[in-house]
């Protein structure tokens, strides 16, 4: 680890301790050149797969921010707490993380739909209408029926 003060490449670890839950290790270091002291934190970095877009060619890094954004948008003004959304995002990420190096954006969309379906049916419909690109009222009707709503046509 390079010294942040003098950029000397060699520093010595003088103390290590793990955080409360053991997921972070804090190391106290000392520069061998200028004797400056600083702290580093070590955390496990689980790599997330690349997301393959609909065209099958474009690949973008997975973005938790985007996922939360789209779910929050679907859940706007719905009686679902931020912590429930977080828990849903956690479950989605667990599934993504242990898969392949690449994941189709469609698969993430399916996971989001499954979570929204159990969180809030209205949010599910909002997300589904964009996701499946519903254009006809019939598309909505079919989706609503799948959710267990009965529709009476007039």
Q: Distances from the Cα of 47 to the Cαs of 30, 51, 61, 101, 121, in angstroms?
A: 30, 12, 10, 9, 32
Segment lying near Zn ion (by CB under 5 A), choices 31-39, 56-64, 99-107, 113-121: 31-39
Closest CA to 11 of 20, 21, 19, 1: 1
Q: Does 5 bind Zn ion (CB under 5 A)?
A: yes
- 109 contributes a contact to Zn ion by CB under 5 A: no
User: 29 vs 85, which CB is nearer to Zn ion?
Assistant: 29
Span interacting with Zn ion, options 24-32, 57-65, 73-81, 130-138, rule CB under 5 A? 24-32
Measured between alpha carbons, how far is 85 from 93 in angstroms, rounded to an integer?
12
Under the criterion CB under 5 A, does residue 129 sit at the interface with Zn ion? no
Buried b (16+ CB within 10 A) or exposed e, 62-85: beeeebeebbeebbeeeebeeeeb
Q: Is 33 in the site for Zn ion (CB under 5 A)?
A: yes
Q: How far is the CB of 48 from Zn ion (least distance, A)?
A: 34
Tell which one of 1, 6, 60, 142 touches Zn ion (CB under 5 A).
Answer: 6
Residues lying near Zn ion in the complex (CB under 5 A) are found at: 3, 5-6, 8, 31, 33-34, 36
């Amino acid at each position: 680890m390079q010294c942040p003060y003098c950029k000397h490449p060699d520093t010595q670890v003088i103390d290590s301790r793990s955080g409360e839950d053991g997921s972070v290790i804090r190391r106290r270091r000392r520069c061998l050149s200028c004797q400056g002291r600083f702290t580093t934190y070590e955390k496990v970095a689980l790599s997330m797969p690349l997301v393959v877009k609909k065209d099958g060619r474009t690949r973008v890094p997975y973005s938790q921010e985007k996922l939360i954004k789209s779910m929050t948008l679907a859940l706007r003004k719905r009686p679902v707490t931020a912590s429930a959304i977080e828990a849903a995002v956690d479950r989605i990420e667990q599934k993504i993380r242990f898969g392949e190096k690449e994941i189709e954006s469609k698969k993430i969309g399916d996971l989001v739909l499954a979570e929204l379906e159990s969180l809030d049916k209205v949010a599910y419909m909002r997300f589904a209408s964009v996701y499946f690109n519903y254009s006809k009222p019939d598309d909505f009707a079919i989706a609503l029926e799948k959710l267990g709503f009965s529709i009476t046509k007039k």
